């Protein structure tokens, strides 16, 4: 895969824009984003599993039930969730966008992120939507990426070109996510564009498989958000043979989506609210994939493990404890645990028992900003990876006054 600039605008047919419209008080923060395609796209999405979900999810589900879309409109600063008029306002956002672009309201993917339970003021949204079409550009991907951020500290975007069916095909993506992140579906928004020719059902099939192994393997704080969404729009302008079933081209398409997921997952996890370290948990030798994933997610979600990593404390007991209550089937008596970073690798557990180790080396390993917790179960061939971050004082500070 050849990495190229452009973000969501890298694939043929796409333009984007982002600006400050007034949803957020801080005028230096962009708060509304638009992605638009010159042609109707095949479209699919996956959503949060939280039973309390945002009004934009209700409306987006309706709009792309026919497998097509042309635009994404997304605001930050207000989640438009738990509001009596939320669906009405989400639909209004689609109608305003459609009118501004000369398309149908049903061709709009709508998303919101920010504070839950506060009524969304449509006045600044309407102003933003009226201005965004004037700003649409093939260089607007980064502005859109900035506009969907909330407590994020880093812009998250990627774009690359690969080959499918003998044709060069481009992919681009942006994402946001920093807090209220936990698997199913990890709290975040991610918008993916491609010029691949592919049907909506095949996008859905590939996206579900990729999300299960990437976006759904992130956790920051154990809270599953109300507004999570990953959507894909495919313009078909690459003119590759239409992907309408499984086969080599479908696998290549899925591999490209996986590349995006595997890039975004650590980006989101490492940018967790207050985080100072990216944590990776690799589980190997499990009886099956489900057990490996369950253990990896349990360890990476443990508040005690996260706190130990923040304090550079090589405490294998916390790792074993999190494995034990995960619910996965494994034999503790065969487990080995290592901590690894650019400073080195140190084993802290063998056959389920703690080992004596060089405390100074362990501290140096855990002081780095990227740490891998490696777990060997020695009970099978399955493996899984999960991503997370440390738990710091700043996480409490950020969320203690998030709304006020």
pLDDT truncated to tens, each residue of the chain (404 aa)? 999 999 999 999 999 999 999 999 999 999 999 999 999 999 999 998 888 888 999 999 999 999 999 999 999 999 999 999 999 999 999 999 999 999 999 999 999 998 888 999 999 999 999 999 999 999 999 999 999 998 888 999 999 999 999 999 999 999 998 654 444 433 479 999 999 999 999 999 999 999 999 988 987 655 566 778 999 999 999 999 999 999 999 999 999 999 999 999 999 988 877 889 999 999 999 999 999 999 999 999 999 999 999 999 999 999 999 999 999 999 999 999 999 999 999 999 999 999 999 999 999 999 999 999 999 999 999 999 999 999 998 888 877 876 66
Q: Does 6 share its domain with 134? A: yes
Q: Does 61 share its domain with 119? A: yes
Determine, yes or no, domain membership for 62: yes
| Residue from 64, 74, 25, 16 nearest 43 by CA | 64
The tokens of 313 are what? 């404390």
Domain span at residue 53 reads 2-268
Per the structure, how many domains does the chain have?
2
Last residue of a domain, one of 244, 268, 292: 268
| Residue from 184, 178, 181, 169 nearest 260 by CA | 169
The three-point CA angle 205-210-215 to 5° equals 130
Q: Does 203 share its domain with 320? A: no
Residues in the chain: 404
The Cα diameter of the chain in Å comes to 68
Question: Cα separation of 284 and 92, whole Å?
Answer: 49
Determine, yes or no, domain membership for 346: yes
Last residue of a domain, one of 215, 235, 268: 268
Q: Does 130 share its domain with 14? A: yes
Q: Does 264 share its domain with 120? A: yes
Determine, yes or no, domain membership for 273: no
Q: Does 43 share its domain with 119? A: yes
pTM comes to 0.91
| Residue from 210, 389, 366 nearest 300 by CA | 389
Q: Does 174 share its domain with 99? A: yes
| Residue from 15, 290, 267 nearest 280 by CA | 267
CATH number at 317 reads 3.10.20.340
Give the CA-trace dihedral at 307, 188, 290, 205, to 10 degrees. -170
Of residues 60, 150, 162, 187, which has the active-site annotation? 187
* Lookup result for tokens 């995960």: 326
**48 is known as an active-site residue:** no
Question: Cα separation of 316 and 309, whole Å?
Answer: 11
């Amino acid at each position: 895969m050849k990495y190229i600039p452009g973000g969501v605008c890298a694939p043929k047919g796409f333009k984007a824009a982002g600006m400050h419209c007034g949803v957020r008080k801080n005028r230096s923060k962009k708060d509304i984003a638009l992605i638009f395609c010159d042609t109707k796209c095949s479209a699919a999405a996956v959503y949060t599993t939280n039973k309390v979900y945002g009004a934009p999810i209700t409306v987006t589900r309706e709009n792309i039930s026919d497998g097509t879309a042309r635009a994404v409109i997304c605001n930050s600063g207000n989640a438009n969730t738990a509001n009596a008029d939320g669906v009405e306002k989400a639909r209004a956002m689609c109608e305003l966008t459609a009118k501004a672009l000369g398309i149908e309201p049903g061709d709009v993917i709508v998303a919101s992120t920010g504070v839950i339970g506060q009524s969304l003021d449509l006045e600044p949204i309407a102003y933003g939507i009226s201005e965004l079409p004037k700003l649409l550009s093939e260089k607007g991907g980064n502005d859109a990426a900035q506009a969907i951020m909330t407590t994020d500290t880093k812009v998250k975007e990627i774009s690359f070109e690969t080959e499918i069916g003998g044709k060069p095909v481009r992919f681009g993506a942006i994402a946001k996510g920093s807090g209220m992140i936990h698997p199913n579906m990890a709290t975040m928004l991610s918008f993916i564009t491609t010029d691949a020719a592919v049907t909506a059902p095949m996008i859905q099939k590939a996206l579900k498989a990729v999300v299960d192994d990437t976006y759904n393997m992130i956790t920051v704080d154990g809270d599953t958000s109300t507004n999570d969404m990953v959507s894909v729009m495919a313009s078909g302008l690459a003119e590759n043979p239409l992907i309408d079933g499984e086969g080599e081209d479908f696998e290549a398409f899925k591999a490209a989506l996986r590349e995006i997921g595997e890039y975004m997952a650590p980006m989101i996890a490492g940018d967790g609210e207050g985080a100072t370290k990216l944590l990776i948990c690799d589980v190997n030798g499990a009886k099956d994939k489900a057990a490996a994933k369950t253990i990896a997610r349990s360890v990476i979600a443990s508040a005690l493990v996260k706190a130990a990593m923040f304090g550079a404390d090589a405490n294998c007991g916390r790792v074993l404890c999190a494995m034990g209550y995960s619910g996965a089937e494994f034999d503790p008596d065969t487990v080995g645990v290592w901590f690894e970073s650019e400073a080195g690798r140190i084993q802290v557990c063998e056959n389920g028992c703690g080992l004596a180790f060089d405390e100074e080396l362990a501290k140096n390993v855990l002081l780095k900003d990227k740490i891998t917790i490696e777990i060997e179960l020695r009970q099978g061939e399955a493996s899984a990876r999960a991503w997370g971050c440390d738990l710091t004082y700043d996480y409490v500070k950020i969320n203690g006054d998030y709304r006020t």
